[in-house]
Structure 1
């Protein structure tokens, strides 16, 4: 992989700052990893255990990707109370993917049926966000107003060649033989192009009714349209118009304690991927949250939050076709989150968090209501602490240690298998002096075997083994 990402910041004047950025990424011939079957990894297999380093794909499974992105970030202060920010980005993507995917493990628990697909994509994306921030008063009431407009346009061309879907010879997961012959094409090829435009208008006012009581009122109006032209019997087009409100309250009984409550709705159009010639329904969300933020000291603060979130039209893998997606009717998540961060002693910092999450399907026609959402643990926590020498000949030398825990997670929405819990340990050694910084980061310090995610019962993805990453940087 080759990456170039220059950034230029220009202080045009006392009140104006412009940042220009660009990025170029080229990935050529990166071999894929389609995952491992559950039987032989997290589930028993009479033939034994599959080595987690095994790749059941083929040498021609690869991603050829070329991405170019440019943009700017402009800030201008008209006065101490009013400012404008404008952010723009344009991106071009060309991707030629050759993907081997599993179709199922046979009754002998060692022969894996496979398929192959090739799906070139040419995509372009433009985003623009302009907004004003202003502070003013109406009598004794203080206001902080945010008003803005954003626009996103996406264009995508995609096609599958006549030989894009091929049957591939099966592979023995315990004694793999690669460079297997290709079979006959299966499925119908398609080609198409899609474009979408999304316009968002938003307004928010944070109102200070008193020194210790604030009210937030806001809303967003979205207009999203899509058009699809493809080789299915019919083309598709649709337009959605949605208003999403937001309300929040903050009350401070004492300066160190803030009690808050918030309610909001969200809207996200989903770009079609030429699956059946129809427009996907937009993803919608509703969030209720209450919490408390406490400044334990002038250097340490903690937050405790309780939330209830409902989302509709979530995309997930089609259980009948691993290359397609379907939309789940409704998912609901309820939980508690606790976070603490700050400096315990000079040079000794800590960031820690715990989350309890009850995430389930609440409405659907494909999966049982009440099933847990795949990939979401009921319990998780993390802690990362660093210490940096403050004086003497070792001043600037630092050490870091972290623990990351994920509880059991469902492997699919049908809840037919689970990914086991794990506790991973990371560490770091770093040195800072003026503009110079060098670091060694150690991930999975004790080289434990664990599983990060799953697409289905035949695609389990192990976590990375012990690895070391070194970085050197200089700040101008």
Structure 2
């Protein structure tokens, strides 16, 4: 796989004149193997992958070129035990490798992003039912995470290490035919463990500590309006910080969504799988901050949006 990027010209900031006209080519090759083993009620998943990447960065102001080559082995393992009553506890461990395309404000190519994660949880699906519940705890450690450069917001820089610990819960409840309730909640406690003195033990910029959502929809199963579907829900994101030094806190927000649709297959068998729908997001037109590049440069999120769609499932 080959990717090509280019960075544009930038006005010098803070007295530093970066070499900012660059072109970059990333070539990546990977080899992986995966196996799933079942014995009794245990399921074991094992995976191994090797990636090779080569990044060529051309400085179009100095007419020089640099080459960066990386090779990394990542793997994962997971073990699940399925009880007869539908309860399935599991544990897993995984590592990852992701090349980071682009250059910093000085024209230096980014190092690959690496990570490792420990996770344990429980899944539950009652036999013969569509409802599904899942809860988990995890610890994720990432190195070389990209973040906005505080000295020049048009560029990114890399944070040494971020460690996140959290819990997640999700549920899909089907109490009766046609009615679906979907819930999700996550609490994350990310901390910068390696970086500048102003960043250590602080939260990464614009990473919410809490996220939650609730959605419900119902499809009429009989009568003259059979196939009519309607639903609504709410999404919540907790507070964040505009900078990794946590000098400015951005308040959390909640958004409301709604939809109405009609399965045209209820009219004619020829239209089986065709759905016409109208979806509305942020229906109360809530004003909220969606992202910040630094403490003085933030953007508002999308206002009320209504989309009409026509889709077909095959």
Q: Distance in 1 between matches of 2:67 and 2:197?
A: 25
Of the three residues 43, 49, 67, the one matched with 1:220 is 49
1:393 CA drift (Å): 0.2
SS in structure 2 of the partner of residue 235 of structure 1: strand
1:411 partnered with 2:249: no
Coordinate RMSD, CA, aligned: 2.2
Aligned partner of 1:260 in structure 2 is: 90
Q: TM-score, normalised by structure 1?
A: 0.60
Distance 1:369 1:217, change over 3 A: same
1:349 partnered with 2:160: no
Aligned partner of 2:111 in structure 1 is: 281
Aligned partner of 1:450 in structure 2 is: 288
Q: Distance in 2 between matches of 1:370 and 1:232?
A: 39
Q: Distance in 1 between matches of 2:300 and 2:36?
A: 45
1:448 CA drift (Å): 2.4
1:392 partnered with 2:230: no
Aligned partner of 1:365 in structure 2 is: 196
Q: Contact (CA 8 Å) 2:5, 2:102: kept in 1 or not?
A: no
Distance 1:328 1:412, change over 3 A: same
Q: Contact (CA 8 Å) 1:338, 1:353: kept in 2 or not?
A: yes
1:63-82, aligned counterparts within 5 Å? Answer: none
1:201 CA drift (Å): 0.6
Q: TM-score, normalised by structure 2?
A: 0.89
Distance 1:165 1:275, change over 3 A: closer
Q: Distance in 2 between matches of 1:331 and 1:188?
A: 27
Aligned partner of 1:312 in structure 2 is: 143
Of the three residues 211, 229, 242, the one matched with 2:72 is 242
Find the structure with the greater CA-based Rg: 1
Q: Contact (CA 8 Å) 2:105, 2:152: kept in 1 or not?
A: no
Q: Contact (CA 8 Å) 1:451, 1:463: kept in 2 or not?
A: yes
Q: Distance in 2 between matches of 1:159 and 1:444?
A: 34
1:432 CA drift (Å): 0.9
1:23-422, aligned counterparts within 5 Å? Answer: 152-160=1-9, 165=11, 187=17, 190-210=20-40, 212-230=41-59, 231-232=61-62, 235-273=65-103, 275-296=105-126, 298-365=129-196, 367-422=198-253
SS in structure 2 of the partner of residue 321 of structure 1: coil
Aligned partner of 2:268 in structure 1 is: none
Deviations 1:265-316 (A, max 9, x none): 0001112337434332110000000010001461201000110000000111
Deviations 1:309-363 (A, max 9, x none): 0000011111011112111000011100000014221110111101011011011
1:460 partnered with 2:298: yes
Distance 1:190 1:357, change over 3 A: closer
1:255 CA drift (Å): 4.4
Q: Where is the strand percentage greater, Structure 1 or Structure 2?
A: 1
1:159 CA drift (Å): 4.8
Q: Distance in 1 between matches of 2:244 and 2:250?
A: 13
Distance 1:286 1:430, change over 3 A: same
Q: Contact (CA 8 Å) 1:234, 1:277: kept in 2 or not?
A: no
How many residue pairs get aligned? The number is 303
**Structure 2 unaligned regions, length at least 5:** 266-270
Q: Contact (CA 8 Å) 2:147, 2:205: kept in 1 or not?
A: no
Q: Contact (CA 8 Å) 1:348, 1:385: kept in 2 or not?
A: yes
Q: Distance in 2 between matches of 1:159 and 1:443?
A: 34
